[in-house]
């Protein structure tokens, strides 16, 4: 008997009938005019997917503060995509952070992704809060709530934050962020869905009821993504690494493998009940557009 495609299998199941997946996307502020042109091209292609929101990252120590504000404001002004601006509290006083948040509100940006941020000395060094600043993401969320009625997302870590001493501390930190007023959590990238399911068991056991959206990283460039993963404590399974062996000079095959893996991961999450996804785009659209076509959600 002929096997139905993934999208047909989903539509055939009454539990999924009528459902529409929800997407959101993360972008980073482009550094050059050429990169900015590519950024807007990718954004407009992904806008056809009618995302819940698009988020714009905030460089270490606020290094991209002005570009983040400019890009997020322009997305808000020129598209129908709700925009979420990232904000961190590393190396800044409360007053400085509050002024940035107030600037978001003045620009019509009502969504934020509130993050503590990486240590100023880089990943692997000890985090030291600013003496006059927010000590952590939970304090930052509480501060944002005092400023205005923002929609707030925070980070979650399916494989535990590298600085957390144990799982209890990690889940307690997430709970404090949600209790401080966050609307949802978005996970760090992960490549083994079992890590997400185990994490969700811990989340539910802790009584956390806010949505925890899986963050999916399409593998546009294996070397780049594996380097990112290593720096943030995300494990790259051996079987996945082997899929990209000897593909450095085979971009078309690399892209086909990456698409297949992204589809497999998302379908696995869908079959477990997930209906919302956050994609780390690296300012590229191709793999996410291809994924949406396979899922049969929209015409692109």
Catalytic residues: 26
Angle, alpha carbons 240-41-213 (nearest 5°) = 45
Whether the Cβ atoms of residue 257 and residue 192 lie closer than 8 Å to each other: no
* Secondary structure in 3-state letters for 31-98: CCHHHHHHHHHHHHHHHCCCCCEEEECCCHHHCCHHHHHHHHHHHHHHCCCCEEEEEECCCCCHHHHH
Compute how many other C-beta atoms are within 10 angstroms of the C-beta atom of residue 195. Answer: 18
3-state secondary structure of 3: coil
Beta bridge pairs of residue 279: 25, 216
Question: For 210, which DSSP code?
Answer: S
Rounded Cα distance between 57 and 59, Å, is 6
Rounded Cα distance between 90 and 276, Å, is 29
Whether the Cβ atoms of residue 208 and residue 175 lie closer than 8 Å to each other: yes
Rounded Cα distance between 162 and 53, Å, is 28
Question: For 282, which DSSP code?
Answer: T
């Amino acid at each position: 008997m002929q096997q139905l495609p993934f999208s047909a299998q989903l539509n055939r199941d009454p539990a999924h009938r009528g459902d529409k997946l929800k997407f959101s996307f993360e972008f980073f502020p482009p550094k050059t005019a050429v990169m900015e042109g590519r950024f807007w091209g990718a954004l407009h292609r992904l806008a056809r997917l009618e995302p819940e929101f698009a988020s714009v990252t905030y460089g270490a120590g606020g290094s991209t503060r002005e570009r983040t504000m400019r890009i997020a404001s322009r997305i808000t002004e020129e598209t129908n995509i709700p925009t979420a601006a990232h904000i961190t509290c590393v190396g800044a006083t409360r007053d400085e952070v509050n002024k940035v948040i107030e600037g978001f509100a003045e620009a019509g940006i009502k969504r934020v992704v509130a993050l503590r941020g990486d240590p100023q000395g880089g990943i692997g060094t000890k985090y030291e809060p600013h003496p006059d600043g927010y000590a952590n993401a939970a304090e930052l969320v509480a501060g944002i709530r005092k400023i205005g009625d923002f929609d707030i997302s925070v980070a979650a870590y399916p494989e535990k934050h590298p600085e957390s001493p144990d799982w209890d501390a990690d889940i307690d930190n997430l709970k404090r962020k949600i209790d401080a007023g966050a609307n949802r959590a978005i996970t760090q990238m992960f490549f083994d869905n079992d890590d997400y399911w185990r994490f969700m068991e811990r989340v539910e056991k802790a009584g956390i009821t806010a949505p925890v959206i899986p963050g999916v990283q399409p593998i546009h460039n294996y070397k780049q993504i594996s380097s990112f993963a290593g720096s943030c404590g995300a494990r790259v399974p051996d079987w996945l690494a082997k899929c990209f062996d000897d593909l450095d000079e085979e971009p078309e095959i690399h892209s086909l493998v990456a698409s297949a893996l992204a589809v497999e991961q998302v379908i696995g999450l869908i079959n477990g009940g997930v209906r919302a996804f956050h994609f780390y785009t690296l300012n590229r659209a191709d793999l996410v557009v291809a994924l949406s076509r396979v899922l049969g959600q929209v015409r692109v």
